Structure 1
Amino acid sequence: MNENKVTFGLKNVHYVPFDSKDFLVTFGTPIPLPGGVELTFEPRGDLIEFYADDMLYYAASNNQGYDGTLSIATIPEKFAIDALGEELDETDGVLNELADAKGKPFALLFEFDGDVNATRHVMYNCSASRPTLASKTKTSSAEPNTNELKFVSSPIV
């Protein structure tokens, strides 16, 4: 099978809510997060280095998951409810961000194109923080806004 020399693009971004009880993890159905613009992951955890006998005696990776950032066209209401713990007021249709809202864990699924094959990824046990809210006035050309969603991906325990 031929391997990619390069990857590019971002598509098919989905999230999957899950529950974990008594060491059993149950995933829901993937839900689309349309409008993915950019996705970055920074590794968490340092390289452990131990020196003895005047040399590097032991080295190991300390994998603590990733810090992620997803730039997206707009954050779907369902994601705000499912993952961020916001509540929809059925009477007036307002999405409320509660002071004591508890976010729920989810897996993040996404795909990169390549010169030969697409590559699909899954980041398990993600927890998202409240997104950045920003906008700017229109000028002679209207540039679409994006929203930035920060999250942590860590091992499932």
Structure 2
Amino acid sequence: MVASENKVTFGLKNTHYAVITDDGKKLTYGTPAALPGATKLTLDASGNAVEFSADDTKYYSADNNQGYTGKFEIAKLTEAFEKDVLGIDDSKGVSTENANAKMKRIALMFEFDGDQKAVRHLLFNVSLSRPGDGSKTKEDKVDVNTQELEFTAAPDPYTGDVKTKTNSKTTDLVYKAWYDKVFDGAASGLGV
């Protein structure tokens, strides 16, 4: 059964990531892994309008969709994420950041709750910055630390897809399998 359309959305939960492999012909996604503790996510549209003047007027204009830039705040990154995405080496029983480590691109999945049904989102091609770190002394109350990652969600270089999300027409099959595999719109609705 198809849900009614949401009037409002709120909250942030069920954040997952899938590591990207790029063979020069298409992006392939690993199995999504949970990234618990999300506290805030912002998406700012990236790209400028293309305008061309001729005959003393605006002759042509078009949108130039370059995806999004954003910030993702989380209580604490998981050790698996640090290793899989940030390139942290844990082979010696400690977590070592190396200047030569290569960060990996990911698909980022998350959901906003709604008055009818949560909306599940997917950013197809995300590049992240290294997170900062810090803390402060405890006083009469404890302030929990968070980590923030800046990111760019660029178009998939092969398909042009930037972002997709569930809506009131999304089937139960697609909705329930959202975090099992990165959605690619295949006939099965579950990706290839």
TM over 0.5: yes
Matches within 5 A, 1:56-75: 56-75=58-77
Q: How many residues align?
A: 155
Q: Which has the higher strand share?
A: 1
2:150 is matched by which residue type in structure 1?
K
Q: TM-score, normalised by structure 1?
A: 0.92
Q: Find the counterpart in structure 1 of residue 5 from structure 2.
A: 3
Shift of 1:54: 3.5
Contact kept? 1:83, 1:127, Cα under 8 Å: no
The residue that corresponds to 1:36 in the other structure is 38
Choose which of 79, 82, 90 in structure 2 pairs with 1:80: 82
SS where residue 81 of structure 1 aligns?
Answer: helix
Mean Cα deviation higher: 27-36 or 41-50:
41-50
Deviations 1:93-137 (A, max 9, x none): 211110111101110000001111211110011111110112111
1:45 CA displacement: 1.1
d(CA) in 2 for partners of 1:68, 1:31? 20
**4+ residue segments displaced more than 6 Å:** none
Partner residue in 2 for 1:135: 135
Deviation at 1:2, TM superposition (A): 2.2
How far apart, in 2, do the equivalents of 1:126 and 1:105 lie? 5
User: Among the aligned pairs, what percent are the same residue?
Assistant: 49
Q: Which amino acid aligns with 1:99?
A: A
Give the secondary-structure state (helix, strand or coil) at the position aligned to 1:156. Answer: coil
**Unaligned runs of at least 5 residues, structure 2:** 158-192
1:48 is the counterpart of 2:50: yes
